[in-house]
Amino acid sequence: MKRKNLFIYIILLIVVCVAGYFTWNYFDSKKIQVPYSDFYKQMSLGKVETVTIKENQLEYELKDPSTSSGTTGIIYKTENPHSSTLEESLLKKGVKVTVEKDSAQIFSLIFDIIFYVFFFGIIIVVFRKFISPNTFKVVHKTGVKFDDVVGMDNLKRDMTQVMKIMQNAKEYAAKGIRMPKGILLEGEPGNGKTLFAKALAGEAKVNFIPAKATDFESMFMAIGPMKVKLLFRKARKQAPCIVFIDEFDGIGTVRNYTGSALETENTRIVTALLNELDGFEPSKGVLVLAATNSIEALDPALIRPGRFDARFKVPYPDYNARVELVKMYCNGKNPDTACTPETLAKYTDGYSCAKIESVLNRAALLAGQDNRVEFAMDDFKQACKDVN
């Protein structure tokens, strides 16, 4: 139905355009064509009242002798001699002159308008894409609790106190206890820093805004700092809230004043982070969690006490944690009797949580390639070599 209506509208538009064209020609044909010599003679005698200079012709009206001012109402047309002195001569005779733009000028003007509309439209679209209010999503319920995080018992215990302060900020503030503004989680990739941050938000039942270093990168200068301000503005509106910045060493590196574009942008982002961390009160219920693989790479001014008050190490899972991880990741898989969680945990010493999952998935895949339902210890050992 919509397509049919659109087709009808297009047909009507064409009919209106064609009718307008013929109407214009009809009224144009009513104008009296005269030789240029007649026009020149009338102009010389001062009988011409108005002249419209068009691209290829002149249209003029004569004075009405029966009135002190005004025209006869009859429009005459004649050839345009394209004389450079014509307009000046008419003005000297007291003739009212109107110069109409020719088609080339009109098309040029239309083209310029279209170009500027398109150009600024692209800028607005790109700007809104990079600085859109939806750049950072607010997760109201993460669906993750501490029970979903294997290990990290010491970290859970320490963060439970932070969680209580966040939930009762005013009560603790009355006791002179403030919530940390920021907490750094340091550990190798794949050890569950992101999962832990989600679990903390889930346990505290507060809003969660995830971000990563690449969210602040842009081909345009100054976009990164604007995104930092946008993130913290949204966090204040959603308080109590946890802001989680992953890959923090990607945007919080030591400032280098070499003058290069990249270093200048990094300096602006770090400065924006410093201003935002100093600009909100802990009692407002906003906690910044930042995950990094290397604290040494971060700017010292950014991670000093008063901004990031606590640092926690997220280590590789210990033996007991690896046993639990193997049990969890073997759910849905079929290890044979020799592949007990305790045995496999011994082989995964020094493995991250993500690597353990990847190895077990690879072992099950190898067994499947041989049309075996259960994976054996040889499959597991081969998977360890493949993943390494």
Query: Phi and psi of 295, rounded to 5°?
Result: -70, -30
- As a whole number of angstroms, the distance between CA 150 and CA 137 comes to 26
My answer on whether omega of the bond before 240 falls inside 30° of 0, hence cis, is yes
Residue 92 has pLDDT above 80, yes or no: yes
Q: How do 57-62 and 207-212 pair as beta strands?
A: unpaired
pLDDT score, position 249: 81
Phi-psi region of 70 (alpha: psi -120 to 50; beta: other; left: phi over 0): left
pLDDT score, position 271: 81
Question: How far does Cα 151 stand from its chain's mean position?
Answer: 37
Residue 204 has pLDDT above 80, yes or no: yes
Name the band, by pLDDT with cuts 50, 70 and 90, for residue 69: low
Check if the beta carbon of residue 296 is closer than 8 Å to that of residue 183. Answer: no
Full 3-state SS string of 253-318: ECCCCCCCHHHHHHHHHHHHHHHHHHHCCHHHCEEEEEEECCHHHECCCCCCCCCCCEEEECCCCC
Residue 282 has pLDDT above 70, yes or no: no
Q: Please give the mean pLDDT across all residues of the chain.
A: 80
Check if the beta carbon of residue 131 is closer than 8 Å to that of residue 223. Answer: yes
Place of tokens 């106190």: 161
Bridge partner residues of 71 (DSSP) = 63
The pTM score is 0.62
Lowest mean pLDDT among 3-17, 31-45, 54-68, 112-126: 3-17
Structure token digits, residue 275: 């201003």
339 or 111, which is more confident? 339
Amino acid at 199: A
Name the band, by pLDDT with cuts 50, 70 and 90, for residue 304: confident
Name the band, by pLDDT with cuts 50, 70 and 90, for residue 315: confident
- As a whole number of angstroms, the distance between CA 359 and CA 329 comes to 10
94-103, 118-127, 244-253, 322-331: which is most confident: 322-331
pLDDT score, position 131: 59
Q: What is the mean pLDDT of residues 106-131?
A: 72
- Helices and strands per DSSP (H, E), number in the chain: 13, 10
- As a whole number of angstroms, the distance between CA 319 and CA 349 comes to 7
Q: What is the mean pLDDT of residues 311-339?
A: 87
Structure token digits, residue 255: 């400032």
Neighbour count for residue 151 (Cβ, 10 Å): 21
Q: What is the mean pLDDT of residues 84-109?
A: 79
Name the band, by pLDDT with cuts 50, 70 and 90, for residue 110: confident
- Looking at residue 71, what DSSP letter applies? B
Name the band, by pLDDT with cuts 50, 70 and 90, for residue 293: confident
Name the band, by pLDDT with cuts 50, 70 and 90, for residue 71: confident
Lowest mean pLDDT among 51-60, 250-259, 374-383: 250-259
Residue 5 has pLDDT above 70, yes or no: no
Residue 260 has pLDDT above 60, yes or no: no
Query: What percent of the chain has a predicted confidence (pLDDT) above 70?
Result: 82
Q: For residue 114, what is the enclosing H or E element?
A: helix 103-130
- As a whole number of angstroms, the distance between CA 53 and CA 39 comes to 13
Q: What is the mean pLDDT of residues 181-202?
A: 86
Three-state DSSP class for residue 220:
coil
pLDDT score, position 29: 47
- Looking at residue 24, what DSSP letter applies? H
Question: For the chain, how long is the longest CA-to-CA vector?
Answer: 120
Residue 384 has pLDDT above 80, yes or no: yes
Question: How far does Cα 232 stand from its chain's mean position?
Answer: 16
Residue-wise pLDDT for 163-179, tens only, equals: 887 777 778 878 887 77
Bridge partner residues of 171 (DSSP) = none
